[in-house]
Structure 1
Amino acid sequence: MSITTPTPTVTAIGSINISGNVIPANWWRHVVLPSGKPDSTAIMLLSDIVYWYRPVDVRDENNGVLVGQRKRFHGDKLQRSYQAFADQFGFSKRETTDALKRLRGAGLINLELRTVQTQTGVTLSNVLFVEPVAERIAEITTHVEAEQVLRSDVTPPTLKRNTPLRSDVTPPTLKSETYTEITTETTHTEITTENTNTLAPSGDDAPAKRIKNDYSAEFETAWANYPKREGSNSKPAAFKCWNARIKEGVASEVLLAGVERYAKFCQAKGQTNTAYVMQATRFFGPGCEYENTWSAMAPQSTSNHRQNTHAGFASRDYGATTAPFMARFNK
């Protein structure tokens, strides 16, 4: 069968009027998590936001000539709540909020909270408005270098296969700028790094050593007092969350006081050095766990309860008898 001849299935699908969100293939390579996997939640939300900002053609109904374009929403920006996004895609509100903030941190969207007044005169505060950043959307969608990314295990046609390069010659390299979002579940710090696809290793192209984080003295104090945890608890990721809160105006004294309360709570509960200790990224995250009182109630004594379970036997009447138990059957 020729490629130009559609199959019955192709014809049937072609008759379906499919419309809605579009996800460009490049997004799956540019909007990623620290593990390197695509940030699917953020990508789905971004595709819906971009859909609402795609213009609609307006044509003359008499001759079909394009006369202009119109927007799909009312107002100057799209108004949509976190919960509305969550309900549409089946995400939790927390997942939706974190994903939108990651997109904002990457410079892909703008989030704006406004106070609006309805037609009935009711005043609503913290109404969310969302707007994509067109330049960044174009960059991750149609970037020229993004279309030239090669697989690291494929040798370009300009080099002979299975031929080692001279060690004293720097091989040609192909560079591509890739958006990488450095975060945990509750981290919104984003950086753009330059990944280098090197065709052959050399001294100049060796992987760079990880840059040591310049931790602040206040954070070092907090980290030293933070309850030890069984399992993973990334210090660099926690420091990013710490810095994010500092930038939001949270005083370091507030964070340190929260750590002190939580450490006492874990000690009182016997949770120190167990998996029940909260990861520091969550503690210093936007959920503001550090503001909790973390008061541990004293455990109730169970000794009286155990004694009282048998205390009633002495006061019970089991009947009176004047003869030993077996003697009653020997008469």
Structure 2
Amino acid sequence: MESDHNRDMLARARQTLELEAEAILAMRERLNGDFVQAVQQILACTGRVVVTGMGKSGIIGHKIAATLSSTGTPALYLHPGEGIHGDLGMLTAQDCVIALSNSGETAEVLALLPVIKRLGTPLIAILGRMASTLARQSDVALDASVAREACPLNLAPTSSTTAALALGDALAVALLEARGFSEDQFALFHPGGALGRKLLLKVEDLMHHGAALPQVARHTLVKDALWEMTAKRLGLTAVLEEDGRLAGIITDGDLRRQLEDHPGDLLNLRAEQIMTVNPKAIQPDALAAQAVHDMETRAITALLVVDAQQLVGVIHLHDLLRAGVV
């Protein structure tokens, strides 16, 4: 049975989530033309988006800058305390500033305003008090106010930081769609991620080639083809014409099926007598994700890689699994 302490703990956790969810939903209803103007100002920016904020707002600012950068809007974070001691040198008139402050009166953020104004850099504020100095000095002020913090003391930034984060995400998504940002572009900025691997890796990056490539001639005896398959450990061998063009394929499955038809003399047959002609193949410059699709569609675990009718490699499902493409 749950103890009273555990029940109270769960009740507080649920209340926290409810309060933060309510803060986001209330903000949704307040979205208006100011949000559209903010998006348009960022789209018109020929430099970078410089995000700034102090304390917990600064942590949220880091995340907003990272999300913008990864979705097609070059952005960076500027610590306001460092900014007033020289780092404002990174700011140009071509940039656009997003400043976060729940109170709208954060001293370190306000200290940046004279330089921002002198440069003529557009200023977008995400704040909790629309009747504040930062709101009045901004070109666009976005209302991220909350009825109360989720903190029982109504002090620790909780609902307010969640609201600011969600509004930053809303900006990033609106900008992403306005720019026509694609999966390919996302993968370009995330080469180490799963999507990057799916969209950037090519078959030639993962295939077996050279000495690791199982291959025999048409006239090779099946027993010798079996040795080749065993040595290369891919469960298949390609069968080639004398000029190197692909003629067919022999797989473990082919051998099992042929053993039923030729139980006594299989090993003494020639490769061309049992091979599958016109085997499924893929180009070396095809995406690895295409290889996965082809294997799944055809219920096979490997594909020959062919370029201009010449065998250049073999790609196996295990290779795709190791690379994280599957």
Q: Give me the TM-score of the superposition, normalised by structure 1.
A: 0.19
Structure with max Cα Rg: 1
Q: Give me the TM-score of the superposition, normalised by structure 2.
A: 0.19
Larger RCO of the pair (alpha carbons < 8 Å, separation 6+):
2
In proportion to residue count, which structure has more helix? 2
